[in-house]
Structure 1
Amino acid sequence: MACPLLSWLLFTALATPSQGDRLGPTPHLRYSRFLDASNAVFLRWDFDFEAEIITFELQVRTAGWVGLGVTNRYSRAGGDLVVGGVSPDGNVYFSDQHLVDEDTLEEDGSQDAELQGLTEDAVYTTMRFSRPFRSCDPHDQDITSDTVRVLAAYGLDDTPKIDRERTFVKSIFLLQIVHPDDLDAPEDTIIHDLEITDFLIPEDDTTYACTFLPLPIVSKKHHIYKFEPKLVQHNETIVHHILVYACGNASALPTGISDCYGADPAFSLCSQVIVGWAVGGASYQFPDDVGISIGTPLDPQWIRLEIHYSNFHNLPGLYDSSGIRVYYTAHLRKFDMGVLQLGVFTFPIHFIPPSAESFRSYGLCKTEKFEEMNRAPVPDIQVFGYLLHTHLAGRALQAVQYRNGTQLRVICKDDAYDFNLQETRDLPYRVVIKPGDELLVECRYQTLDRDSLTFGGPSTINEMCLVFLFYYPRNNVSSCQGYPDIIYVAHELGEEVSDSMEGMMAMSNVEWTPESIKKAENACKEAQQTVIIKTIDELVENTTGWIQDINPTPRGPCLESSGGKVEPQDKTPAGFRAAPRVLSGSSSATLRCLPLATLLFGQGALSWLLATLQAGI
């Protein structure tokens, strides 16, 4: 009976003035982000991955209502919004709501957000609450390991009403497994910048600038354990991505700066990525037992620095000195890491039809040749992180692992991919890839805003389908990518062709309708794939294979609300589970009704409650 009684006492407490008071203790939330350009809306969050509970704290520079929730890519309608504030008479109000349309809020029948604190002072209104990753209320958007579009809104008074000027959507990867503060920072850290110098950015839409630079010169083995972008102010919106490729020590490298994929093929040498950054990313630190080895005879001594500029406004006179800053140490880690590039071989075969609601591309990797290409046994590949990459039409990616013809797991995925948030992410557990396994990358695109074919290529308006796996121990394979038999695809679309070039040209002859788009997607999946495998020393081998079906990842059971009402039709086919008796906060476990107890304790009422319970009430 204790929890119902505590709930009644909470209601009583919320009906009394509480301006400036906190509801219970406020444990540290590890993650934070501003959600607006003027830094008036600040979000903190943390989560319990096992209990599947996330805690948010929203702080807004206002004396009115505040709201936080999740929405989708295309419309705020259908998004959920937890709303709260402190009224002029000091009473707290709090409600789990959703947007019926772009502007209209309606309270959910099931209240799945649990208030942990709501205060207002002379500057800010601050609201802290927790909610399940997935509730049984269909009005609540799921919190997943995909990119999440966080919706924040506020008002200047205490009447919750959507004002588009005070509504913000920001893409965030909420379920970050590792926080940088949890990792070691060696005291002997040395910083080294790999950067381009005073490069005049061409006025072209797309430029790939490459130069070759030495890695730090050290007398004994060191490990690079962290990297971050080094961007010149005002050029951030033009720099699309930066990649650092390791060069084989036998490579003859050119000097200066030139087009990576232009007239001089020497500037495209070196294809083994060791670190990479793209739009929206930040710094990344490897796990404490992993690093990039430098300083031994087997380690690369030079790298190719590749910077992709997207100067869509054709601005003149812009000079750039961007690059990658690396942190390295003599304090060695246990494992030497590498990066394996997977996906669709970018050109000339990759194509995406216009006016497509959805179109999937596939790129196959077969690891059976890895030992032959390394000329030595290859240990199991232990994957700990990943980076996903498409251009503007990309909507979702996933990398899937097969063994002996059976799907083993989805290694990584993002069903809500955002071009403007490309970052290196940690896996919740390390994935083992054994020699002989097959790896498949699937990318999903949308081209409703395009009236002509989109081809794979380097420009931002072209497309790519790439997944970079961060793993250990390092081997010599740098990339393993596939592409479909375009002659077969053309024949399936009714085009008579005799070679691959004719096949690609024939795509322009197809009348693209929903039916032909689906037929092309099926043909690309059914066609035999050519798999291209490349090593750090530019050794290339080809093999062939076939695309297998991908079993969808099932949604887990939803968390039944502890308050409000869940209608029978709200219980999804995946089932539901009761709210757990114990939930872990950001640092310690707490009972489901503990926030209520800590509220009473904070108001000096806990001793009264215990005395009352002992009296038998």
Structure 2
Amino acid sequence: MCRFVVGVVALMVTLSAAAPKSATTKPAQNAVVYPSNFPTPTETYSRFAQMDVSGNYFLFWRANSTHIHFETHVKTRGYVGFGISSNGNMYPADVVIGWVKDGKVHFEDRHTIGFYEPIIDDSQDWTLIAGYENDFGTVLKFSRALDTCDEKQDRVIKDGTTKVIFSYHPDDPIHETGLTYHGHGRRGSKSLLLLDLNPTVKELPADTKHFDMKNQQFHLPAVDTYYHCTVFKMPVLPQKHHLVMYEALIDPGNEDVLHHMVLYTCPGKMDDKYDLMQYHCYHEHDPLLQACTGVFLAWAVGGEPFYLPDNAGFPLGTKDDPRFLLLETHYNNPSLKTGVIDSSGMRIHFTPTLRLHDAGVLETGVMVDRFQIVPPEYESFKSRGYCSMECMQRSLTRSTAPEMNVFAVFQHTHLIGKGIKTRIVRNGTEIEPLIVDDNYDFDFQETRLLAHERKLQVGDAIITECDYRSKEKGKFTYGGLSTSDEMCLTFILYYPRMPMSNCLSLPMYGAYISDPGQREGLIQYLETLDWKNQTTRDMFQQNTDQSKYWLVCMDYAGPTSYFRKTAQPDPVTKPYVKPKSDWCSSK
């Protein structure tokens, strides 16, 4: 997710795709709020999900600052289970079990600690609102506080990814402590953003059009990782438009090989001969194509359609907007599957009914490079990417406004990432982070709409911090393009659009080497050390944190706007401490 070159570092960031095209007028949308296969809930919910593949378990929910309300529709006349787990497993977990028998609703707050019946909690903190059976099955409505203050038997529902577990059985229990095992085929887990504000479905303006950029029956080679690129000429628009929604179009059956897709802007003038040009993204040396580095949109596995807020849209159709986009699709094929033909891609929805602000995307984090090093044996190793105060100032002082209004964030790392957060440092004092996800799920990567817009200004620096668990991996992990490599990136969606598109960094490891040309020697040396030794692990984390970094930034104008310096990251003189909640003490 970053495509420019830094000195000896080939930065070409990650993700890939390809593309046919079509621009079609969308009829006025009297939007169907729920997909046709969904049962009808008892009230309107902006968030909903099908929990299982077979369509037997459906969840609807809504939340505010203190409580969350759920409604489950399950195709059973027996008991229904629902819960929250730290790891997606059935235990340990905070669960509820409910059923309807002889017209009476049974519902209890429980917890699991092993492969046996969930234990009834001492404190009943989930509240039943309603329960009944209908033609579909069993319906349960219930609510709870985000923090029930039951530290021993409940789990706090936080911002970020929540691992939701579910189960059901065709029969009612004999009594409250006589639950029959649900069986392997009637249980599961799903990662959800329970506190996310972005609606699952939202009505678009009646004059909205859409434009598809799809691979045209691309024959995927039987290789572990492949990046397929297509240059795409944008449709000629008679006036300025705003992009208001985007979504992935995934060929059924190819979900297991599509890892992520990114649309990049191509600056300057490009000849029409580039339209629909296809190639391996990182084997092409045409300087015009290498200049396609500004992130326009990004999608990764698990991502749902994203609706921009009503006050902002990505501009299209003006002289300052790109005539060409580069669609890059990353295929992840570790089983070396053969015979895959793919026509997946992206769809953008745009309207001539303009919003108040032009939106932009800023890519921040760690440069995608082998010099991002994560040794084995860590329960927690922190990689940090810095967008310097100087880069922010260079861009904001050339912008139409002195500050950025951030409305959404997309965070991205790979398989050993267990958490990621985007931190803000203002003149040395760290303030509340933009976003925190302590339960990162590689298979569930969503663009998250913030509950409240956040302002970034001159004097701010951004830190993308990825928390890696390499305990059982047994070998080094390096930054790179493959899924088995690592990344640490944040894409910040904001308005008004400013010149800068990328702001990244890479550690220089000055405690070990004095010249970038010694990088491979450093890697060879590190691989000889005993990483089971705590002192070795602590020393490497410390040396990485205290290293000088390559600090780089670049505008949408491409490599001609490239700025780089080698320096210590901006100091954090006062770390952020989350205020202690008085919620539990006031109950």
The C-alpha deviation readout for 1:94-152, integer Å capped at 9, x for no partner, is 11100021333111111101111111246512111110101111211111111011111
The C-alpha deviation readout for 1:394-421, integer Å capped at 9, x for no partner, is 1110011111110122011111110111
- Residue 577 of structure 1 corresponds to 586
Matches within 5 A, 1:270-281: 270-281=292-303
The one-letter code of the counterpart of 2:411 is L
- Residue 282 of structure 2 corresponds to 261
User: In terms of mean alpha carbon deviation, does 253-262 or 189-198 score higher?
Assistant: 253-262
Q: Is contact 2:48–2:200 with CA below 8 Å preserved after alignment?
A: no
The one-letter code of the counterpart of 1:221 is K
User: In terms of mean alpha carbon deviation, does 72-81 or 333-342 score higher?
Assistant: 72-81
The one-letter code of the counterpart of 1:131 is R
Question: 350, 361, 365: which one pairs with 1:328?
Answer: 350
- Residue 406 of structure 2 corresponds to 383
Distance 1:372 1:56, change over 3 A: closer
Aligned length: 530
- Look up the SS of the partner of 2:510 in the other structure: helix
Query: Alpha-carbon deviation of 1:479?
Result: 0.8
- Look up the SS of the partner of 1:203 in the other structure: coil
Query: Alpha-carbon deviation of 1:72?
Result: 1.1
Question: 412, 417, 431: which one pairs with 1:408?
Answer: 431
Q: Is contact 1:148–1:173 with CA below 8 Å preserved after alignment?
A: yes
Q: Is contact 2:399–2:498 with CA below 8 Å preserved after alignment?
A: no
Matched, 1:177 2:197: yes
User: In terms of mean alpha carbon deviation, does 123-132 or 372-381 score higher?
Assistant: 372-381
- Residue 541 of structure 2 corresponds to 521
Q: Is contact 1:366–1:436 with CA below 8 Å preserved after alignment?
A: no
- Look up the SS of the partner of 1:479 in the other structure: strand
Distance 1:368 1:248, change over 3 A: same
Query: Alpha-carbon deviation of 1:69?
Result: 1.3
- Residue 552 of structure 2 corresponds to 532
- Residue 427 of structure 1 corresponds to 450
Q: Is contact 2:48–2:60 with CA below 8 Å preserved after alignment?
A: yes
Q: Is contact 2:198–2:306 with CA below 8 Å preserved after alignment?
A: no
Matches within 5 A, 1:240-255: 240-250=259-269
- Look up the SS of the partner of 1:487 in the other structure: coil
* In structure 1, C-alpha distance between the alignment counterparts of 2:314 and 2:292, rounded to whole Å: 16
Query: Alpha-carbon deviation of 1:374?
Result: 8.0
The C-alpha deviation readout for 1:426-461, integer Å capped at 9, x for no partner, is 011111111231111110011233111000000000
- Residue 62 of structure 2 corresponds to 46
Question: 469, 482, 505: which one pairs with 1:459?
Answer: 482
Distance 1:163 1:184, change over 3 A: closer
Distance 1:35 1:74, change over 3 A: closer
User: In terms of mean alpha carbon deviation, does 25-34 or 225-234 score higher?
Assistant: 25-34
- Residue 146 of structure 1 corresponds to 160
Q: Is contact 1:359–1:518 with CA below 8 Å preserved after alignment?
A: no
* In structure 1, C-alpha distance between the alignment counterparts of 2:86 and 2:180, rounded to whole Å: 20
- Look up the SS of the partner of 1:509 in the other structure: coil
The one-letter code of the counterpart of 2:92 is G
Matches within 5 A, 1:88-167: 89-121=102-134, 123-138=136-151, 139-159=153-173, 160-165=179-184, 166-167=186-187
User: In terms of mean alpha carbon deviation, does 202-211 or 261-270 score higher?
Assistant: 261-270
Q: Is contact 1:31–1:46 with CA below 8 Å preserved after alignment?
A: yes
Q: Is contact 2:395–2:498 with CA below 8 Å preserved after alignment?
A: no
The C-alpha deviation readout for 1:473-518, integer Å capped at 9, x for no partner, is 1122111111222232x37xxx999833432333222221251223
TM-score (norm 2): 0.85
Q: Is contact 1:230–1:323 with CA below 8 Å preserved after alignment?
A: yes
The one-letter code of the counterpart of 2:48 is S
The C-alpha deviation readout for 1:55-97, integer Å capped at 9, x for no partner, is 111222112111211011164322011111123x433211110
The one-letter code of the counterpart of 2:578 is T
The one-letter code of the counterpart of 2:472 is D
* In structure 1, C-alpha distance between the alignment counterparts of 2:576 and 2:221, rounded to whole Å: 45
Q: Is contact 2:47–2:200 with CA below 8 Å preserved after alignment?
A: no
Q: Is contact 2:160–2:436 with CA below 8 Å preserved after alignment?
A: yes
* In structure 2, C-alpha distance between the alignment counterparts of 1:62 and 1:336, rounded to whole Å: 49
The one-letter code of the counterpart of 1:326 is I
The one-letter code of the counterpart of 1:277 is W
TM-score (norm 1): 0.81
- Look up the SS of the partner of 2:63 in the other structure: strand
User: In terms of mean alpha carbon deviation, does 384-393 or 58-67 score higher?
Assistant: 58-67
- Residue 85 of structure 1 corresponds to 99
Matched, 1:27 2:43: yes
Q: Give 1 or 2 for the bigger CA radius of gyration.
A: 1
Q: Is contact 2:406–2:492 with CA below 8 Å preserved after alignment?
A: yes
- Look up the SS of the partner of 1:506 in the other structure: helix
Question: 177, 187, 198: which one pairs with 2:217?
Answer: 198
Matched, 1:553 2:562: no
The C-alpha deviation readout for 1:176-208, integer Å capped at 9, x for no partner, is 213265x66221111111222221111111001
Question: 234, 245, 249: which one pairs with 1:215?
Answer: 234
Q: Is contact 1:56–1:128 with CA below 8 Å preserved after alignment?
A: yes
* In structure 2, C-alpha distance between the alignment counterparts of 1:446 and 1:184, rounded to whole Å: 41
Q: Is contact 2:244–2:307 with CA below 8 Å preserved after alignment?
A: yes
- Residue 597 of structure 1 corresponds to none
Whichever structure has more helix as a proportion of its residues is 1
Distance 1:542 1:164, change over 3 A: farther
Distance 1:534 1:119, change over 3 A: same
The one-letter code of the counterpart of 2:56 is A
* In structure 1, C-alpha distance between the alignment counterparts of 2:232 and 2:118, rounded to whole Å: 56
Distance 1:270 1:498, change over 3 A: closer
Q: Is contact 2:100–2:132 with CA below 8 Å preserved after alignment?
A: yes
Matches within 5 A, 1:460-499: 460-488=483-511, 490=512, 499=518
Query: Alpha-carbon deviation of 1:26?
Result: 4.2
User: In terms of mean alpha carbon deviation, does 331-340 or 313-322 score higher?
Assistant: 313-322
- Residue 52 of structure 2 corresponds to 36
Distance 1:375 1:86, change over 3 A: closer
Distance 1:209 1:225, change over 3 A: same
* In structure 2, C-alpha distance between the alignment counterparts of 1:468 and 1:136, rounded to whole Å: 34
Q: Is contact 1:487–1:499 with CA below 8 Å preserved after alignment?
A: no
Query: Alpha-carbon deviation of 1:577?
Result: 2.5
* In structure 2, C-alpha distance between the alignment counterparts of 1:187 and 1:497, rounded to whole Å: 55
Q: Is contact 2:547–2:568 with CA below 8 Å preserved after alignment?
A: no
- Look up the SS of the partner of 2:165 in the other structure: strand
Query: Alpha-carbon deviation of 1:171?
Result: 0.6
The one-letter code of the counterpart of 1:336 is D
Distance 1:250 1:122, change over 3 A: closer
- Residue 55 of structure 1 corresponds to 69
- Residue 561 of structure 1 corresponds to none
* In structure 1, C-alpha distance between the alignment counterparts of 2:252 and 2:479, rounded to whole Å: 30
Distance 1:74 1:62, change over 3 A: closer
Distance 1:447 1:331, change over 3 A: same
* In structure 2, C-alpha distance between the alignment counterparts of 1:396 and 1:334, rounded to whole Å: 34
The one-letter code of the counterpart of 2:240 is K
Query: Alpha-carbon deviation of 1:276?
Result: 1.1
Distance 1:497 1:479, change over 3 A: closer
- Residue 524 of structure 2 corresponds to 505
Matched, 1:230 2:285: no
* In structure 1, C-alpha distance between the alignment counterparts of 2:130 and 2:395, rounded to whole Å: 59
- Residue 614 of structure 1 corresponds to none
- Look up the SS of the partner of 2:498 in the other structure: coil
Q: Output the aligned Cα RMSD.
A: 2.3
Matched, 1:393 2:406: no
- Residue 27 of structure 2 corresponds to none
Distance 1:286 1:496, change over 3 A: closer
User: In terms of mean alpha carbon deviation, does 391-400 or 170-179 score higher?
Assistant: 170-179
